Amino acid sequence: MSRKLVIFDNDGVLVDSERISHRVLAGYLTELGYPMTVEESVHHFLGTAARNVHEVIADKYGGGTLPDGFVALWHERVFEAFQRELEATEGAAKLLAELNDRGIPYCLASSSDRSWIDLTLERTGLRGHLRPEQVFSAQDVGGVGKPAPDLFLHAAKAFGVQPSECLVVEDSPNGVRAACAAGMDVLGFTALTPADRLRDAGATRLIGSLSEVLDHR
């Protein structure tokens, strides 16, 4: 069956932001006396809400607490790093241009705030490939992020297609769970995430590069 809509996650899929976010987070937590490597940060926090950082630290360090304003400060540091370093994922611009040329509809659906999404698209130059009506954030569905299926279902509805006609590209276990819960086909993107974790979340097909997306359509 030919899929009608390709839905991309943003962080870690279209833009190479996860590497930067986790390096900054691991460094900040280590500075605060909670030593953490980038790999551990990816393991605990990839594709989860910021509040989970408090829970994991409390759990891992037996009741450890983070300073007031921690999340805002962490985001401030990440924003600064993005301004300097953030790039589109290799092959992202080419893939979106090709989908556009072939008349294949596509969109972006991210649990992040719209301001965050906008920042990443401006900085990486992907804005030119995504019109506002092709961008969905959790704010469009009352703040309910992945792993709930709401955001993906909302995107499908906006494009007037059934969930079974969608192909989702996701790099986080929670994103894969959201796609499965929505009844959509999903490609697990293993750029940073261990393949096992995506498989455990329900991804039956994995890709290591965005250039493989068209092969799976």
Nearest CA among 38, 189, 18 for reference residue 116: 18
Q: Is 16 a known active-site residue?
A: no
Cα 118 from chain centroid (whole Å): 14
Of residues 137, 172, 190, 193, which one binds Mg ion by CB under 5 A?
172
Choosing from 3, 5, 6, 11, the residue that interacts with Mg ion (CB under 5 A) is 11
Q: Quick check: 187 and 168 in contact, CB under 8 A?
A: yes
Which one-letter amino acid corresponds to residue 95? L
Strand partners, 131: none
Q: Is 9 in the site for Mg ion (CB under 5 A)?
A: yes
Active-site residue flag, 9:
yes
DSSP classification of residue 47: T
Contact (CB, 8 A) for 173 and 201? yes
Site size toward Mg ion, by CB under 5 A? 5
Shortest Cβ 12–Mg ion spacing (Å): 4
CA atoms of 105 and 96, how far apart (whole Å) = 10
**17 lies in the site for Mg ion, by CB under 5 A:** no
By CB under 5 A, is residue 111 in contact with Mg ion?
A: no
In the complex, minimum distance from the CB of residue 64 to Mg ion, in angstroms, rounded to a whole number: 26
Q: Which is nearer to Mg ion, 61 or 90 (CB)?
A: 90
List 3, 12, 14, 99, residue binding Mg ion (CB under 5 A): 12
CB of 99 to Mg ion, least distance (A): 19
Shortest-Cβ-distance residue relative to Mg ion: 12
| Spatial separation of the C-alpha atoms in residues 157 and 149, rounded to whole Å | 12
What are the Cα distances from residue 141, in Å, to 6, 120, 154, 174? Answer: 19, 21, 7, 17
Stretch that binds Mg ion, among 12-20, 67-75, 116-124, 198-206 (CB under 5 A): 12-20
Active-site positions read 9, 11
Q: Which residues bind Mg ion (CB under 5 A)?
A: 9, 11-12, 171-172
